[in-house]
Structure formats: C-alpha cells, structure tokens
C-alpha cells in the first residue's frame, strides 16, 4: 500500500497577512482543495494507494462537507491532545487543546502526530522549564505516545513522524530508535504509518537528504518496527518524486508546498502532478 499525505500547515493565511494563500477566500479554502482534487484521485486503486489530507482545525467541517460520494480523501487533523473527554469524566476542559473525541466528532479519520514542528514546540516549552538535552527529547516522545494512544482509542489512523536534527546526525540510530520505541510503546502498529523527516535537510539553503541516506534510514525503521510502512516526510515534490518512487523501502510521501518560487504556495493541480510523478502515471 502506498500512502500520499498532505500537510496543509497554515497555508490558509492570505498573502496580505504574511501567508501563501492565493487559492481562495479562507471560508472556501478547504472546499476548493477537496473539490479540486477528489475526482482525479478516484482514478487510483484504493487497494494500492490511500490519500489523507491534514487540515487546520477551522477547516475540518468544510473539508468533510465537500467530500463527494465515494471520495478517496481521508480528512485528518494536525494533532490531538494527550488527554480526552470521557463519560463521567472530563467533559471538555481542554481550552486550546483538541481532544481526539473532538477530531472524531468533526469527521476526521486520520491524525498527524509528532511532526518536527510539533516536536520543536514541545521541546522549546520543556527547555524553558529547564528540561534539556536527551531528557527533553524523551519527555517529548512520551507526550507523543500519549497522543497516539488517545487517537487510536477513538478509531483514528495515525501518521507518526520521526526525524533527527543536525546536531543529532552522528547518533541518528539512537535518536530515531528512541522516537520509535517510546513513541509507539503499547500502541496498535497496524493503525500507524511512519513519516521520516530528515530535519537537518529541510528548509531554504539546506542540502536535501539523498537516496542512499533515505534508503538506509527507511530500512532501519522497518527493521526496528517489524516492517511498518514508511513515508518520506521531508517533502514529496516534483524534484524528488521519481527518486523516492525508486526506493523500495519507502511507501509514500508527505506533500506540503507544491511551488517553492514565484507565487509560492499549495496548488491542487500541482499536487495532482506530484502524485502522477510519484506513482509513475
């Protein structure tokens, strides 16, 4: 099974407010993305490839409502809180948090957990409190493990992200091994796919991870997890789609921006072009 994931981050913010949204008014943004892609995606065999899109929370209802009959798009959210509502228990005291129950009620089927930006945020908070180094990293892994468990308890599928930073490259096996062993402890691995993000190589001016490096890491992840599916989380795009497709150990990719120069941003037609390149059609 191949997995094509789309992380729409905060691509809904208009250009005049510092964002990259030239696609549609904010109120119509999610609908534009879903309606602009789902008919083309119906042409792919669902037994061979799945499509999940992770929207900011404000757009989840619009995304779900825009799905047509037999739409292949699985709507996902960009994280859940480490605790949840419960009958006879906490009924919603999660200000700013997104419990898995809320994600389920909004129509989500998937959730993105452990993205490098989420890891950085959690680590930064811990460091402000004096928890640093490996202690902070392990604490983040434990928090993410709680999130995965809450998501699974509500029947959500999970894309769990792992990755090493530049200062962790020499110990990448230890770093990724801990992210896997701690983050996946006690979870149903059948409901989880792994996204590998080489954090050290992502961003302007950085050298992208090459095929041999991605291959060795993906093989390591499969070995450590008993063969779980591994998607490339460092950005599936036009420039690397064919290269990633040639790596047997890689089972898909995570798309974000589709255009990186000029009027940068996410564009549905370019998203479909990337998928065709990756799947060789």
**Number of Cα atoms under 13 Å in the Cβ half of residue 252:** 21
Whether 266 contacts 8, CB under 8 Å: yes
197 a catalytic residue? yes
Q: What SS3 class is residue 3?
A: strand
115 a catalytic residue? yes
Whether 199 contacts 166, CB under 8 Å: yes
| Closest by CA position to 158, among listed 255, 80, 262, 41 | 80
Q: Which residue has the tokens 């990448």?
A: 172
Whether 60 contacts 106, CB under 8 Å: yes
CB under 8 Å to 192, separation ≥6 — which residues?
Answer: 148, 152, 157, 158, 159, 160, 184, 228
CA angle 105-111-117, nearest 5°?
130
Whether 144 contacts 160, CB under 8 Å: yes
Max distance between CA atoms of the chain, in angstroms, equals 54
Q: Which residue among the candidates 50, 147, 164, 197 is catalytic per the annotation?
A: 197
Q: Which residue among the candidates 3, 115, 118, 164 is catalytic per the annotation?
A: 115
Whether 107 contacts 61, CB under 8 Å: yes
The number of residues in the chain equals 281
By annotation, the residues acting in catalysis are 115, 197
């Amino acid at each position: 099974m191949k997995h094509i994931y789309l992380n729409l981050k905060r691509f809904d913010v208009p250009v005049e407010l510092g964002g990259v949204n030239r696609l549609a008014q904010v109120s119509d943004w999610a609908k534009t993305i879903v309606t602009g892609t789902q008919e083309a995606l119906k042409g792919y065999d669902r037994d061979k490839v799945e499509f999940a899109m992770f929207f900011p929370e404000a757009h989840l209802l619009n995304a779900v409502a825009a799905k047509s009959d037999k739409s292949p798009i699985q709507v996902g959210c960009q994280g859940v809180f480490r605790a949840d509502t419960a009958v006879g228990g906490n009924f919603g005291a999660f200000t700013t948090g997104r419990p898995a129950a809320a994600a389920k009620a909004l129509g989500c089927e998937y959730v993105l957990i452990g993205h490098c930006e989420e890891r950085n945020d959690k680590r930064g908070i811990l460091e402000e409190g004096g928890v640093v180094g490996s202690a902070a990293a392990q604490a983040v892994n434990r928090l993410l493990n709680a999130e995965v468990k809450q998501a699974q308890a509500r029947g959500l599928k999970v894309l769990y992200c792992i990755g090493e930073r530049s200062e962790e490259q020499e110990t990448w096996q230890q770093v990724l091994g801990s992210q896997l062993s701690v983050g996946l402890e006690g979870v149903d691995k059948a409901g989880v796919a792994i996204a590998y993000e080489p954090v050290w190589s992502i961003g302007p001016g950085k050298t992208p991870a090459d095929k041999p490096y991605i291959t060795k890491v993906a093989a390591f992840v499969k070995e450590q997890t008993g063969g779980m599916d591994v998607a490339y989380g460092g950005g599936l795009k036009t420039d690397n789609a064919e290269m990633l497709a040639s790596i047997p150990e890689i089972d898909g990719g995570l798309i974000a921006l589709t255009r990186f120069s000029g009027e940068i941003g996410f564009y549905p037609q370019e998203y479909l072009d990337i998928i065709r390149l990756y799947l060789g059609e």
